[in-house]
Structure 1
């Protein structure tokens, strides 16, 4: 069962990411310790795409490696 976009956003917020609005339903997420951004698109109630879940997992893994 895929996660919802709102779940991914909550995970990123708890990990210390900050949100910047983008065009339409897109949001850009950045973290002070990581280079690059994560782009999430879709409404909060929509199912997340597999690549979106993988992007979030990779970012969290990099954060764990840094800490």
Structure 2
């Protein structure tokens, strides 16, 4: 289970553990996966990430 204790144990919100684990399976580092997971806790954060992904895909011609 991912830690939600914080400090040297790391920290990922409990509601975002599934996202964290999916990112880890895709090869993201623990730090990067935690950063992305925690950023998407609120709806506004997820929307911001979705818009960023859309812009990146558009820029790369997909």
> More relative contact order in 1 or in 2 (CA 8 Å, sep 6+)?
1
TM-score category, normalised to shorter length: 0.3 to 0.5
Bigger Rg, structure 1 or 2: 2
Q: Relative to total residues, which structure has the larger strand share, 1 or 2?
A: 1
TM-score, length-normalised on structure 1? 0.35
Q: Relative to total residues, which structure has the larger helix share, 1 or 2?
A: 2
